[in-house]
Amino acid sequence: MHISITGLKPKGLWGFIRFWSLAIPSFGEAKSAKGNLHSAVKKINGYNCTLSAWESREMMLAFMKNGVHLKAMKAFRSIATGRTYGYESDTIPSWEEAYSLLESKGKNY
């Protein structure tokens, strides 16, 4: 299964408003997307984090490149900063493990 971890911080007031206007519906779409096995959100050290598990990387990419998530990706640089990390695993990590991986191996944006 493919594990996807993100940690994002909105930029300023306008970024905050735009971030949440995209994040909430995007998370709703993720939970019901084909191939999604697990979706969770949590605020950790000031970052708005998501942890999702997918049947495959291809199914995660199909979700990522459509709908509200695509709009969020196009707006990302103007509304937020943060990190992402994805990898293959047989288990879903705990939040502690997920955030540690995000800090040590995540790609900065």
CATH of the domain at 85: 3.30.70.100
Q: Judge whether 2 and 54 are in contact, CB under 8 Å.
A: yes
How many structural domains does the chain have? 1
Write the CB contacts of 76 (distance below 8 Å, at least 6 apart in sequence).
109
| Residue range(s) defining the domain that contains residue 79 | 2-108
Token code pair at residue 47? 């970052």
- For the segment 10-19, what is each residue's pLDDT rounded down to a tens digit? 999 999 999 9
3-state secondary structure of 31: helix
In this prediction, residue 67 has a pLDDT band, given cuts at 50, 70 and 90, of very high
- For the segment 34-66, what is each residue's pLDDT rounded down to a tens digit? 999 999 999 999 999 999 999 999 999 999 999
The pLDDT score that the predictor gives to residue 96 is 98
